[in-house]
């Protein structure tokens, strides 16, 4: 029988659940949207969290996905194990089916069994089921056990009860939770041995392997360690790793032998010039590491994550460098990682078109990081060569302190295992305990351990908003067509100084609070656009709106202060948006879309949006890039946008399906979450994006677009700030005024200002060079004859000199001069700064460094002036607060070197 491909397996899964009434939902990005608790999307349910919590109403109650996931820690995904086992991965696809208050245990179990045994025809005697067997006061899931008996005909020898660690799922200390049931498949040879279940792990390619987990969310825990309360709407969350089920259906022991990974493994092996044998040899492990990490690299880069030292960028860099390092240790001295990444794109771009779309960016970044890693090798080698703080181990071997080895890794990117390899070659070992301590300390600092959790107050506010939404229903937003409307006050909150909320029936004059109305023309902050401002009136009463927020899907709250009279729940009010602020925001928001289009036109598809803020004052746009815009690129981007503005083209909106919007090439932001029904916005001739914000009616309304700045805001992310309309006019006036004032100061016409500035700066540079020349003459000529020279043993000399001015660069030049003049010599030069501090430089001739070490000498001299110092054996410097003790410094120098 022909073995199915991984593409066919993925398609079969999705089509099966589609036939059961599930909506096929596209994979979310590997960057989770609005979830600061996660670095990466690590499970299929992540994009549905709000739906499970009841905070987001979807147009479907059952869904199925194949979700791109990244995991770098946990039960099945310890990074250090990737490559050493058959199952560990950093990137994988999670097949899942989900029910949001629709079907529950009986249907979920029946669907799973039908797909596995009827569609995929897995032998039933190779399957075992686990259910929650009860623990610590939590009842056993007898309901699931009984359903499995009915569906499968199995007895309790194949339906096994396990504890909370294996078969009870929680979202956290609080929130939805419930028992789960897992399906395991026997991967070994011969007849399945039930007695070996839970005794022989399948991670080595034999024994029993978990292939599908069904989580039944039926309880809610309101407080940590509190009682479990049944949920009003019970839900299902399932997950099955595509790599695992592919291994099963293709009849291979290892995920790395499936068609998902084996071509990548073989590409890595071919680059290394050897055959892959699937063994535990260092070469085969390296091939598996490179194959797995190439997949994570491709998908992370496709979403605009770039290697850095922070957050997701740091995680990506650690994965990329681990792959590159494994190759390097197998003798791959030239950059080759991008060749495996290229195959990932070719292999998976059909299922995930973003890989094709960002191919050039993915490959350039992969190669650049490969090159950067190789540049760290000589740096690390040089640092080890110069290191002087070796310790002696019990066996007489040199020991590299653990904190130094960690600093090589954390600061310079020099891997621990590469340091170990060099140690074996050079005869030193690493203090591994010290390394672990340094790593843990660094990790604690990075995570901010010891700080209190800030979530309690925010969670209380969220509960208040959730209760109001449940009570009054969603607030209708009609602000696309209106700026003034009438509505009824349905809820009021008093706002405390600490940000706390209290539901109230009325707000008196001077009270700060939040107003919820039955409908509103006010836009609540979302999608990067700030909330509207304006006023709410009721007769003689007035509430000034300073912000509008959308804390939950369907809830709009007006934030502000009662400036006259009072407001009460049930009152009819008139809501008036500040028209001038709204119009300015509309101009800036439409310009943001045109900027995004122009950026990608000039820089390429990799210049993805990473964030934005649109307000009446201007716009801020974050985009993926590793370099600044050139002046020419800025001009081209401005010209493209302003060409669209001057054409005065219509801004068109329509509501359509997400699938239709994709087919029409609409830009979608990975971090954003879109429903099935979306608002499609076309601005000008080519800009097509999904957006729920307010916009200009025609491009001509923007008036003028001008970039103010382009700055780096993080690894691989830059920020453009720009203005439009009257903001652009005011910027032009300010720049013109500044130019005129500068021209007046330099007594030159504005048109000749650049030439006059360049001439002035060149004259300044000439004068600075003259000053430096005079200083050198004064330092070397003036002190050369005044230096005190003392003969030392072995033909060496001690040279002491007091410099006339406190300038470390000058002191080093003087020390160099005296060392050359009196070689072989130990030179000590001192000076007092204008602030009364001491500066000391010690220089030792190369032929004298065997006897005298500049770094050690300067350390002792620094103590005299109350300071510290250090440096190389041939040149070192120090400083201290007590510049009056230079005579003591020179006397001490005699003592040290005599």
Counted residue by residue, the chain has a size of 898
CATH number for the domain including 541?
A: 2.40.30.130
CATH number for the domain including 84?
A: 3.30.930.10
Least confident of 259-273, 430-444, 601-615: 430-444
* Whole-number Å distance between alpha carbons of 21 and 473: 27
* Domain membership flag for residue 750: no
Within this chain, do residues 207 and 59 fall inside the same structural domain, yes or no? yes
> What separation in angstroms does the CA of 644 have from each of 341, 594, 635, 685, 712?
38, 8, 14, 8, 27
* Domain membership flag for residue 197: yes
Within this chain, do residues 543 and 594 fall inside the same structural domain, yes or no? no
**Residue 201 clears pLDDT 50, i.e. is over it:** no
> What local confidence, expressed as pLDDT, does residue 700 receive?
96
- 795: which 2 tokens? 């033909």
* Residues 741-779 pLDDT 10s: 999 998 899 889 999 999 999 988 888 887 777 766 666
Q: Which of 577, 611, 634 is the last residue of a domain?
A: 577
* Domain membership flag for residue 336: yes
* Whole-number Å distance between alpha carbons of 703 and 721: 17
* Residues 584-610 pLDDT 10s: 999 999 999 999 999 999 998 888 888
Task: Render the burial of 296-306: b for 16+ CB within 10 Å, e for the rest.
Answer: bbbbbbbbbbb
* Whole-number Å distance between alpha carbons of 501 and 473: 19
Within this chain, do residues 824 and 712 fall inside the same structural domain, yes or no? no
**Residue 468 clears pLDDT 90, i.e. is over it:** no
**Residue 63 clears pLDDT 80, i.e. is over it:** yes
> What local confidence, expressed as pLDDT, does residue 865 receive?
93
**pLDDT band at 469; cut points 50, 70, 90:** confident
* Domain membership flag for residue 94: yes
Q: Helices (H), strands (E): how many in the chain?
A: 25, 36
* Residues 213-246 pLDDT 10s: 999 998 887 777 788 888 778 999 999 999 999 9
> What local confidence, expressed as pLDDT, does residue 80 receive?
78
Within this chain, do residues 291 and 256 fall inside the same structural domain, yes or no? no
> What local confidence, expressed as pLDDT, does residue 452 receive?
36
Within this chain, do residues 219 and 285 fall inside the same structural domain, yes or no? no
Q: Give the bridge partners for 607, in sequence order.
A: none
> What local confidence, expressed as pLDDT, does residue 137 receive?
80
Q: For 112-141, what is the mean pLDDT?
A: 93
**Residue 414 clears pLDDT 60, i.e. is over it:** yes
> What local confidence, expressed as pLDDT, does residue 564 receive?
96
Q: How much of the chain exceeds pLDDT 70, in percent? A: 93
- 79: which 2 tokens? 């990074």
Mean pLDDT, the chain, whole residue set: 88
> What separation in angstroms does the CA of 640 have from each of 109, 415, 609?
56, 46, 18
Q: For 369-398, what is the mean pLDDT?
A: 79
> What local confidence, expressed as pLDDT, does residue 271 receive?
93
> What local confidence, expressed as pLDDT, does residue 171 receive?
67
CATH number for the domain including 867?
A: 3.10.310.40
**pLDDT band at 264; cut points 50, 70, 90:** very high
Question: Is the separation of the CB atoms in 804 and 779 below 8 Å?
Answer: yes
Q: Which of 260, 275, 301 is the last residue of a domain?
A: 260
Question: Is the separation of the CB atoms in 839 and 869 below 8 Å?
Answer: no
Within this chain, do residues 269 and 255 fall inside the same structural domain, yes or no? no
> What separation in angstroms does the CA of 841 have from each of 354, 672, 813, 861, 891?
58, 58, 10, 10, 15
> What separation in angstroms does the CA of 842 have from each of 230, 596, 808, 822, 893?
76, 57, 11, 14, 10
> What local confidence, expressed as pLDDT, does residue 730 receive?
92
> What local confidence, expressed as pLDDT, does residue 199 receive?
56
> What local confidence, expressed as pLDDT, does residue 785 receive?
44
Q: What φ, ψ does residue 22 adopt, rounded to 5°?
A: -90, 140
Q: For 7-20, what is the mean pLDDT?
A: 97
Q: Which of 322, 364, 321, 323 is nearest to 342 (CA)?
A: 364
* Cα of 272 vs its chain's centroid, Å: 32
Within this chain, do residues 599 and 691 fall inside the same structural domain, yes or no? yes
**Residue 421 clears pLDDT 80, i.e. is over it:** no
**pLDDT band at 30; cut points 50, 70, 90:** very high
> What local confidence, expressed as pLDDT, does residue 780 receive?
60
Which is more confidently placed, 121 or 389?
121
- For residue 158, how many other CB atoms are within 10 A of its CB? 20
* Domain membership flag for residue 741: no
Q: Give the bridge partners for 354, in sequence order.
A: none
**Using CB atoms within 10 A of its CB, is residue 462 exposed (0-12), middle (13-18) or buried (19+)?**
middle
Within this chain, do residues 467 and 415 fall inside the same structural domain, yes or no? no
**Residue 451 clears pLDDT 50, i.e. is over it:** no
Q: For 192-196, what is the mean pLDDT?
A: 77
* Domain membership flag for residue 503: yes
Count: domains in the chain: 6
**pLDDT band at 552; cut points 50, 70, 90:** confident
> What local confidence, expressed as pLDDT, does residue 25 receive?
93
* Domain membership flag for residue 740: no
Question: Is the separation of the CB atoms in 522 and 556 below 8 Å?
Answer: yes
Q: What φ, ψ does residue 585 adopt, rounded to 5°?
A: -65, -40
> What separation in angstroms does the CA of 22 have from each of 98, 118, 316, 491, 501?
8, 19, 34, 37, 39
Q: What φ, ψ does residue 630 adopt, rounded to 5°?
A: -80, 165
> What local confidence, expressed as pLDDT, does residue 792 receive?
86
Within this chain, do residues 883 and 852 fall inside the same structural domain, yes or no? yes
For 543, the domain range is 455-577
* Whole-number Å distance between alpha carbons of 625 and 782: 53
Q: Which of 404, 407, 456 is nearest to 430 (CA)?
A: 404
- For residue 292, how many other CB atoms are within 10 A of its CB? 27
Q: Which of 226, 260, 294 is the last residue of a domain?
A: 260
**pLDDT band at 450; cut points 50, 70, 90:** very low
**Residue 573 clears pLDDT 70, i.e. is over it:** yes
* Residues 73-96 pLDDT 10s: 655 456 778 888 888 899 999 999
Query: Please, what is the Cα angle at 283 between 291 and 380, to 5 degrees?
Result: 90
Q: What is the dihedral of CA 771, 773, 774, 776, to 10 degrees?
A: 120
* Angle separating helix axes 359-386 and 402-412, nearest 10 degrees: 150
Within this chain, do residues 397 and 467 fall inside the same structural domain, yes or no? no
Q: For 51-63, what is the mean pLDDT?
A: 85
Within this chain, do residues 91 and 41 fall inside the same structural domain, yes or no? yes
**Residue 144 clears pLDDT 50, i.e. is over it:** yes
Which is more confidently placed, 749 or 199?
749
* Domain membership flag for residue 769: no
> What local confidence, expressed as pLDDT, does residue 329 receive?
81
DSSP category for residue 660: H
User: Could you tell me where the DSSP H helices lie in 576-708?
Assistant: 579-603, 631-646, 658-663
* Residues 670-695 pLDDT 10s: 555 666 678 899 998 899 999 999 99
Within this chain, do residues 184 and 316 fall inside the same structural domain, yes or no? no
> What separation in angstroms does the CA of 557 have from each of 33, 91, 470?
22, 40, 14
- Across 340-349, 364-373, 548-557, the highest mean pLDDT is recorded for 340-349
* Whole-number Å distance between alpha carbons of 413 and 380: 8
Element (H, E) at 533: none
* Residues 815-840 pLDDT 10s: 998 999 999 999 999 999 888 899 99
* Whole-number Å distance between alpha carbons of 542 and 552: 26
């Amino acid at each position: 029988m022909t073995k199915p491909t991984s593409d066919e397996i993925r398609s079969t899964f999705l089509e099966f659940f589609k036939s059961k009434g599930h909506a096929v939902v596209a994979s979310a990005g590997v960057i989770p949207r609005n979830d600061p608790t996660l670095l990466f999307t690590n499970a299929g349910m992540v994009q549905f969290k709000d739906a499970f919590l009841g905070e987001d109403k979807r147009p479907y109650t059952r869904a199925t996905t194949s979700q791109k996931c990244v995991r770098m820690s946990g039960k099945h995904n310890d990074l250090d194990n990737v490559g050493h086992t058959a199952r560990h991965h950093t990137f994988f696809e999670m097949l899942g089916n989900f029910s949001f208050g629709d079907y529950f245990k009986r249907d979920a179990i029946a669907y799973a069994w039908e797909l596995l045994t009827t569609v995929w025809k897995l032998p039933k005697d190779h399957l075992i089921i686990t259910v929650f067997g009860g623990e610590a006061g939590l009842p056993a899931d007898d309901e699931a056990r009984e359903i499995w008996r009915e569906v499968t005909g199995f007895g309790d020898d194949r339906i096994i009860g396990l504890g909370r660690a294996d078969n009870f799922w929680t979202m956290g200390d609080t929130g939805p939770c419930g028992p789960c049931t897992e399906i395991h498949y026997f991967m070994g040879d011969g007849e399945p041995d039930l007695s070996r279940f839970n005794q022989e792990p399948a991670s080595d390619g034999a024994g029993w392997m978990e292939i599908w987990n069904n989580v039944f969310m039926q309880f809610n825990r309101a407080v940590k360690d509190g009682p479990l309360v049944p949920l009003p709407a019970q839900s299902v969350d399932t997950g099955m790793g595509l790599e695992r089920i592919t291994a099963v259906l293709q009849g291979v022991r290892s995920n790395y032998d499936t068609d998902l990974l084996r071509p990548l493994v073989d590409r890595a092996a071919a680059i290394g010039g050897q055959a892959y044998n699937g063994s535990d040899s260092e070469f085969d492990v390296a091939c598996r590491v490179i194959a797995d990490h190439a997949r994570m690299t491709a998908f992370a880069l496709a979403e605009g994550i770039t290697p850095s030292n922070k957050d997701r960028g740091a995680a990506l860099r650690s994965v990329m460098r681990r792959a590159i390092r494994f190759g390097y240790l197998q003798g791959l001295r030239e950059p080759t990682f991008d060749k495996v990444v290229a195959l990932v794109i070719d292999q998976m771009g059909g299922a995930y078109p973003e890989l094709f779309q960002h191919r050039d960016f993915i490959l350039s970044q992969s190669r650049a990081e490969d090159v950067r890693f190789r540049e760290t090798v000589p740096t690390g080698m040089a640092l080890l060569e110069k290191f002087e703080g070796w310790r002696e181990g019990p066996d007489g071997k040199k020991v590299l302190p653990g904190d130094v080895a960690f600093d090589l890794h954390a600061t310079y990117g020099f891997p621990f295992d590469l340091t170990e390899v060099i140690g074996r070659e050079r005869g030193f070992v690493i203090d591994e305990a010290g390394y672990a301590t340094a790593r843990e300390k660094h990790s604690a600092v990075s995570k901010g351990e010891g700080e209190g959790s800030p979530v309690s107050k925010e969670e209380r506010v969220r509960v208040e908003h959730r209760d109001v939404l449940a009570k009054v229903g969603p607030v209708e937003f009609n602000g696309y067509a209106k700026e003034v409307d009438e509505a009824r006050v349905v809820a009021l909150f008093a706002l405390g100084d600490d940000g706390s909320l209290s539901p109230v029936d009325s707000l008196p004059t001077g009270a700060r609070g939040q107003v919820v109305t039955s409908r509103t023309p006010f836009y609540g902050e979302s999608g990067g656009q700030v909330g509207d401002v304006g006023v709410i009136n009721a007769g003689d009463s007035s509430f000034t709106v300073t912000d509008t927020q959308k804390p939950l899907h369907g809830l709009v709250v007006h934030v502000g202060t009662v400036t006259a009279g009072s407001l009460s729940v049930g009152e009819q009010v008139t809501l008036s948006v500040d028209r001038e602020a709204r119009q300015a925001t509309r101009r800036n928001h439409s310009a943001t879309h045109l900027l995004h289009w122009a950026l990608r036109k000039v820089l390429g598809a990799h210049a993805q949006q990473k964030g934005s803020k649109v307000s009446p004052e201007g716009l801020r746009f974050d985009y993926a890039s590793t370099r600044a815009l050139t002046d020419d690129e800025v001009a081209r981007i401005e010209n493209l946008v302003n060409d669209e503005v001057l054409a005065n083209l219509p801004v068109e909106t329509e509501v359509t399906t997400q699938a239709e919007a994709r087919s029409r090439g609409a830009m979608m932001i990975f971090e954003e979450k879109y429903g099935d029904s979306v608002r499609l916005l076309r601005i000008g001739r080519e800009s097509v994006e999904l957006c729920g914000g307010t916009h200009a009616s025609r491009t001509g309304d923007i008036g003028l677009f001008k970039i103010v700045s382009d700055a780096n805001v993080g690894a691989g992310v830059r920020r453009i700030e720009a203005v439009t309309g009257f903001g652009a006019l005011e910027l032009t006036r300010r720049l013109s005024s500044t130019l005129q004032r500068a021209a007046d100061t330099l007594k030159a016409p504005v048109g000749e200002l650049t030439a006059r500035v360049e001439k002035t700066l060149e004259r300044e540079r000439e004068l600075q060079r003259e000053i430096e020349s005079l200083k050198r003459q004064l330092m070397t000529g003036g002190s050369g004859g005044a230096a005190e020279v003392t003969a030392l043993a072995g033909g060496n000399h001690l040279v002491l000199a007091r410099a006339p001015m406190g300038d470390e660069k000058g002191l080093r030049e003087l020390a160099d001069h005296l060392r050359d003049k009196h070689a072989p010599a130990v030179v000590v030069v001192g000076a007092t700064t204008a602030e009364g501090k001491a500066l000391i430089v010690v220089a030792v001739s190369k032929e004298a460094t065997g006897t005298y070490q500049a770094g050690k000498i300067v350390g002792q001299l620094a103590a005299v002036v109350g300071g510290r110092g250090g440096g190389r054996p041939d040149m070192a410097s120090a400083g201290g607060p007590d510049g009056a003790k230079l005579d003591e410094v020179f006397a001490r120098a005699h003592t040290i070197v005599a």
